[in-house]
Chain A
Amino acid sequence: DADVTQTPRNRITKTGKRIMLECSQTKGHDRMYWYRQDPGLGLRLIYYSFDVKDINKGEISDGYSVSRQAQAKFSLSLESAIPNQTALYFCATDTGTGVTDTQYFGPGTRLTVL
């Protein structure tokens, strides 16, 4: 079984709709992250959480919100989706024990906003 899972894997929606992307992990890690990948821009951090009570904005948080429901679950919401939020979204986790941590990524969610 995968350590980091994301649902849905693919989603097509319309402008203005509310969308939630979910992430679950079985690694027991405290820290979780949401990234988006766009061609030519690499991976950019949207939000991150170092524990259940800690939520932080990343470099491109506008138009997004998150919820850390439990240590194992971190959801990303688009309150009113717009076409330029069409991208590949990744959730990641790490242990948070130090600066040498390796992040483990989920398989990604491909979101298309029409």
Chain B
Amino acid sequence: DQQVKQNSPSLSVQEGRISILNCDYTNSMFDYFLWYKKYPAEGPTFLISISSIKDKNEDGRFTVFLNKSAKHLSLHIVPSQPGDSAVYFCAASVPSQGGKLIFGQGTELSVKP
């Protein structure tokens, strides 16, 4: 039972355009959401997060939107750069289990020059 789902395994975007990565979840008890970025041969690194009491969090070119009623979050990257090419994982925190994270399957973003 996949509680956090990223239904797009891959996404290709032109440099300078917007990249939108989507994530859906099923557990309404999740109260904190994170995005991680992973380059080949490296471990995932934290990118941006959002608390369930907010609907938007912005950090430079990266913005995360949360729609609690739809149980959906998205990561917007504007403008996209070739260095953004990586696998992006969304994750949700389980408050009843000390903040343990549940990860989605990942979306591989390719930004073409």
Q: List the interface of chain A (C-beta within 8 A of B).
A: 4, 31, 35, 40-45, 48, 50, 90, 92, 94, 96, 98-108
Query: Whole-angstrom distance between the alpha carbons of A35 and B106 in the complex?
Result: 14
- A residues within 8 A CB of B106? 42-43
Q: Which of A4, A48, A100 contacts B49 (CB 8 A)?
A: A100
Ordered by A's residue number, 30 sampled pairs between the chains whose C-beta atoms are within 8 Å are: A31-B98, A35-B103, A40-B105, A41-B105, A42-B89, A42-B103, A43-B89, A43-B91, A43-B106, A45-B101, A45-B102, A48-B100, A90-B43, A96-B98, A96-B99, A99-B31, A99-B93, A100-B32, A100-B49, A100-B93, A101-B99, A102-B34, A102-B49, A105-B43, A105-B44, A105-B45, A106-B43, A107-B42, A108-B42, A108-B43
Query: Whole-angstrom distance between the alpha carbons of A1 and B31 in the complex?
Result: 33
The answer to whether A40 and B93 touch (CB under 8 A), given A90-B44, A102-B49, A105-B45, is no
